[in-house]
Amino acid sequence: MTNRSLACALLLAACFATPVAAAAADVYAVLIDGRQLSDNPRDVGAVKSGGVVYVDAIMMTKAFSGLLTFHTGGKEAVVTIEQRNATFTVGRPVADLDLGTMHMSGAPFMYDGDMFVPASAFARFARAKLAIDPKSHVVSFTTAHPPAS
DSSP 27-55: EEEEEETTEES-S-TT---EEEETTEEEE
User: What's the rounded Cα separation, in Å, for the pair 149 and 147?
Assistant: 7
User: What's the rounded Cα separation, in Å, for the pair 58 and 65?
Assistant: 11
Q: Kindly report, residue by residue over 99-123, the tens digit of the pLDDT.
A: 344 456 789 999 888 999 999 999 9
Strand-pair category, 35-36 with 46-49: unpaired
Q: What SS3 state is found at 102?
A: strand
Specify the length of the chain in residues: 149
Half-sphere exposure of 82 (CA within 13 A, CB side): 12
What residue type is assigned to position 124 of the chain?
R
pTM of the model: 0.75
Domain positions in the chain are 22-143
Name 52's bridge partners.
Answer: 49
Q: Kindly report, residue by residue over 25-42, the tens digit of the pLDDT.
A: 599 999 999 999 988 878
CATH architecture of the domain 22-143 equals 2-Layer Sandwich (3.30)
Q: Taken in order 121, 127, 136, 117, is the CA torsion positive or negative? A: negative
Tell me which H or E stretch contains 101: strand 101-104
Residue 25: its pLDDT value, please?
Answer: 55
pLDDT at residue 19 tops 50: no
- The string over 33-43, giving b where at least 16 C-beta atoms fall within 10 Å of a residue's C-beta and e elsewhere, is eeeebbeeeee
